[in-house]
Amino acid sequence: MRERFGSKSAIATLIALTLAVFIYVTTESLPIGLLSLIANDLGTSASAVGLLVTGYGLIVVVVSLPLTRLTRRLPRRRLLCILLGVFIVATCLSAVAWNYWLLMGARMVTALSQALFWAVVTPAAAGLFRAEVRGRAVSILYAGGSVAALAGIPAGTWLGQQTNWRMAFFALSGLGLLALVAVAAVLPNTPTGQGAADRGSSPDRGRYLSIVATTALAITGAFTAFTYISPFLTGVSGFAESSIGPLLLARGIAGLVGVFVVASLIDHHGWLTMTGLIGLQVLALAGQYAFGASQLTTVITISLSGFTLAGLTATLGSRVLAYAPGASDMASAGTSTAFNTGITAGAFFGSVLLLGPGVRSTALVGALLSLAAFAVVLAEPVFSSRRKVAPATTDEPLPEDTRVT
């Protein structure tokens, strides 16, 4: 008889943490959908509202590691409750902001809580489950981000359009309160450093650093192409403006599928899964560049890139927990920094290319950066700091209860 995935309390806690992921990801990008409404209400420009998202990401990049180090002695349940409390207050403040700078300040406070949230939530969720199913648990956790892109941001945009933009932020505050109550009620109060996933299950500094480098390159490549996907769709592929929404919906659905496909593979084929996803991203972006004038091909390639990006996000979270050379929250903060650096760098490269060679080149440069990531991940076993003999059929650590300590 197959062993259950996890206890009822562990699954309930995972659902609560997945809800928290959903609200953070939705909140980060929601101003994009409400851009004109916020700009008109506060009497500012669309580009200034765009900085509410760019600045948010930069805060996460800069403070993830320092904040994680400062708070590493706090029990995770208490820390997550504090972070969700900060989220609720800051998001309410965003909703009532009467000028641009107050809104910017509230967003930066939310970003501070998110920077630390990403470092803490992955080991907190993974530690609830047996080592051999933690990858699946992390994939489910990260599905909250995919659902945010697929439904949360569109729903928030719709609510803002039907009422006003402030109601969308109030709604997120309400969901934050629900997540806070759930986390406080069901997350175990494990002492600091004693959680099952508080340390890497198979510590390897070389492989961890390789994963960080792969993350930065792959995410930069993905967002070099994706940040300006709308002008690509209209200017290169010839789609009407009205088609952009359905196309992004298709990409979002493909991403959600990617997360659940990864969930079935990651625990036993982590390196192969990561290598395959990055290889598919290279093919998707190269195909987008080479055959972008074909609408059918473009639908296929942007859906495939959505599949690979969402799957890669879940894969990274799981593999970091395996190879973290020290505390898993510090290791998670490192990959979070690399991930958000990739988003910011990709947006920057895309803007430069847009003004220079043109929007089509964003897919080509994205493919080349992804190819560099593919080369790094192929070489990852060579960078390993461990010198033990292992079977050639698997690259992942054995379950904790089968390893010699």
393 located within any domain? no
Lowest mean pLDDT among 26-30, 211-215, 357-361, 392-396: 392-396
Domain co-membership, 228 together with 170? no
Share of the chain above pLDDT 90, in %: 39
397 located within any domain? no
pLDDT at residue 381 is higher than 80 = yes
319 located within any domain? yes
Share of the chain above pLDDT 70, in %: 90
194 located within any domain? no
402 located within any domain? no
CA distances from 340 to 216, 219, 222, 285 (A): 8, 8, 12, 20
pLDDT at residue 33 is higher than 60 = yes
Burial (0-12, 13-18, 19+ Cβ within 10 Å), 387: exposed
Nearest to 373 by CA among 221, 269, 266, 265: 221
pLDDT at residue 334 is higher than 90 = no
Domain co-membership, 377 together with 243? yes
At which residue do the structure tokens 């986390």 appear?
Answer: 183
Domain co-membership, 149 together with 210? no
- The last residue of a domain, from among 138, 154, 186: 186
Tokens of 349: 């490269």
Per-residue pLDDT band for 392 (boundaries 50, 70, 90) equals very low
- Whether the Cβ atoms of residue 189 and residue 335 lie closer than 8 Å to each other: no
Nearest to 24 by CA among 375, 347, 336: 336
Alpha-carbon span 71 to 132, nearest angstrom: 29
pLDDT at residue 304 is higher than 70 = yes
Higher pLDDT, 389 or 41: 41
The CATH number covering residue 104 comes to 1.20.1250.20
**3-class secondary-structure state, position 199:** strand
Q: What pLDDT, on the 0 to 100 scale, is given for residue 377?
A: 94
Report the domain count for the chain: 2
381 located within any domain? yes
Domain co-membership, 272 together with 237? yes
196 located within any domain? no
Domain co-membership, 248 together with 131? no
pLDDT at residue 351 is higher than 90 = no
Domain co-membership, 151 together with 210? no
pTM to 2 decimal places: 0.82
Domain co-membership, 21 together with 121? yes
Per-residue pLDDT band for 286 (boundaries 50, 70, 90) equals very high
401 located within any domain? no
Domain co-membership, 143 together with 285? no
Backbone CA torsion sign across 129, 119, 79, 183? negative
Alpha-carbon span 179 to 397, nearest angstrom: 33
- The last residue of a domain, from among 152, 186, 220: 186
Alpha-carbon span 208 to 52, nearest angstrom: 32
Residue ranges making up the domain that contains 338? 205-386
